[in-house]
Amino acid sequence: MKRYLRIVRYLRPYLPVFAVAVAATFLFAGLDAFSFTLLIPFLETLFADPAEAARTAADGGSEGWLNRALDLTLGRFVDLGAPPAEAIQGIILFLLVVFLFKNIFDFLRNYLVAWIEQAVTRDLRNEVYGHLVELDLSFFGRTRVGQIVSRLTHDVEQLRTLVTKELAKIISSVFELLAAILIMLLLSWELLLAALVVLPIIATVWGPLLKRVRRGDRSILDLAGEVNSHIQETLSGIRLVKASGAEAFERERFGVLTWAYFKAFIRTERFRALSHPLTETMSALGTVVILWYGTRLVLAGGVLSAEEFIVFLAFSMKLYSPVKYLGKLPAIIQPGLVASDRVFEFLDAPIEVQDRDGPRNFEGVREGIVFDDVAFHYREGEPVLDGISFEAPAGSVTALVGPSGAGKTTLMDLLGRFYDATRGRILVDGVPLAEYSMTSLRHGLGIVSQDTVLFHDTVRANIAYGLPGPVSQEALEAAARAAHAHDFIARMPRGYDTVVGERGTQLSGGQRQRIAIARAILRDPPILILDEATSALDSESERLVQEAVDQLLHGRTVFVIAHRLSTIQRADRILVMQEGRIVQSGNHETLLREGGLYGHLHELQFQGS
């Protein structure tokens, strides 16, 4: 119940609309029940003895609460003492009006529920997505993208039906159940007790199977996420798949996943499918009880009329329909409840890197950046960085070199506060990094990496990405010219309004890099990080990108991560890293004379020449 109440709170902004939908549902259920009661005067008028009808009219109408209620409603508009043909015509017209209003309220409740469904879906997706983009990189390091997409789409859809559609059905079923019980009570309380005998059996028939269904639904949603993850990974690496001739291998792997999903789904659906035949059997048993006991009451004479018994029987069908739904409800809502668990796992995931109270606004580097005994680990007991200490003066260029896995990129991630150091401090102008607001810090940070990220949007939007407010065409072109990108952009079909494709697939590697550099130039960041910015380019592209990089370096504090030592020989300081530690430090000439790991790396790269 606690979990379901958390789900239902998403209705809070729409309570007025939901209240109208509930009122429409109540009126629909009432008019639906009332339309069945009109069968009593219809049948009585159709089959009544004229002399008996005249006596009843002379006595002031029929006895009983239900008949008096009919006299106060139908009797106001139709003369039930009139000749049968005239009275029946009036009853039929009155019934038509009741059906008209009933269906108006039916339309209103269905439309409002659909409106609330989509509003709740939008709010829920926005909340989950908004929380996701705030989460730290460590979360995305341990969570597959396909699982994230599955929870944002399929799981939210399941949760949406639980919040609105199923809740509306529950309310509608309860109203229909209460209306049916009320009318049946007015007709015959003895027969009503007989009809209710099977209700406890229907309500509990799904108890033993509920745990199996819940476990099965959890397995189904997890496997759906795995299928999505596999599709996403395969399509992202489709070039490697084709280059490796691995199409058959991928088909087989995908087939294993879909077979596991199929088995889990069928196994769970086997238990869920039991709900319909079991509840139908219980309903048939209840109908048999009503037929057996009801006919005894009719034949006894005076206890229940034949017309009332027929209407009671019709209401028993109305009674068992919502009861069957409520009996199957635990199985029906299980996918939504399991989906809510998975969605709330994301919403409850903590944001580990956050601003402190009253953070400072980062305005640039005046003195320098200091790493003081910095250590970091992703998992306890497995240090990635340990004892990192150095100073980068304002306006200097610091290069980081070393073998793969030495911790160079992780060290720069700490500077952007994508993670917080597990030990030590990072100071900018003597102020701990954690005291600056992350938004202002990251606005002051420009990153150009080997894996350039471009979105499926225009060149203009990609260059101006992340900047508040509109950017003038002059500023865009100035940044693009400085990055040696304006000429090829101008030759594109729509210039700066050309869509570059997903991840920039319409552009070459060098063009993507120059757009990324234009983005950095436009941001004008005081701190610049170049992470293998030219390592994957051909010689011509590398020359153009390097010229663009040279334009970017002036007046900034720069960190360069490089494998090609030729690109960092002019750095003010080179830090050589190995296994998470700084093992050498100095400029190019000093480190060459010193030898060590830097000398070894230099010899490996330049031994051919």
- Domains defined along the chain, listed by start: 2-347 (1.20.1560.10), 356-444+527-609 (3.40.50.300), 454-524 (3.40.50.300)
How would residue 537 be classed by pLDDT, with cut points 50, 70 and 90? low
Quote the strand ranges of 287-350, DSSP E.
Answer: none
Mean per-residue pLDDT over the chain, rounded: 79
Characterize the bridge pairing of strands 382-393 and 445-449.
Answer: unpaired
How would residue 276 be classed by pLDDT, with cut points 50, 70 and 90? low
Distance CA 195, CA 202 (A): 12
User: What is the tens place of the pLDDT at every residue in 449-476?
Assistant: 777 778 888 888 888 888 877 888 888 8
- Checking if the pLDDT of 321 tops 70, the result is no
How would residue 325 be classed by pLDDT, with cut points 50, 70 and 90? low
Q: Residue 4 contacts by C-beta under 8 Å, 6 or more apart in sequence?
A: 337
Question: Global pTM?
Answer: 0.65
User: What is the tens place of the pLDDT at every residue in 3-47?
Assistant: 767 777 878 888 898 889 889 988 888 888 788 787 777 777 776
Nearest to 575 by CA among 564, 588, 593: 588
User: What is the tens place of the pLDDT at every residue in 174-222?
Assistant: 777 787 788 788 777 888 787 777 767 665 665 566 667 767 777 877 7
pLDDT at res. 60? 43
Nearest to 553 by CA among 397, 349, 343: 397
* Cβ 514 vs Cβ 483: under 8 Å: yes
pLDDT at res. 426? 92
User: What is the tens place of the pLDDT at every residue in 138-155?
Assistant: 777 777 777 777 777 777
Give the rounded distance of the alpha carbon of 198 from its chain centre: 40
Characterize the bridge pairing of strands 423-428 and 431-432.
Answer: antiparallel
Burial label for 539, CB within 10 Å (0-12, 13-18, 19+), is: exposed
The DSSP-derived string for 506-569 is TS-HHHHHHHHHHHHHHH--SEEEEESTTTTS-HHHHHHHHHHHHHHHTTSEEEEE-S-GGGST
Which of the pair, 382 or 372, is modelled with greater confidence?
A: 372
Which of the pair, 389 or 76, is modelled with greater confidence?
A: 389
User: What is the tens place of the pLDDT at every residue in 551-571?
Assistant: 667 778 889 887 767 667 778
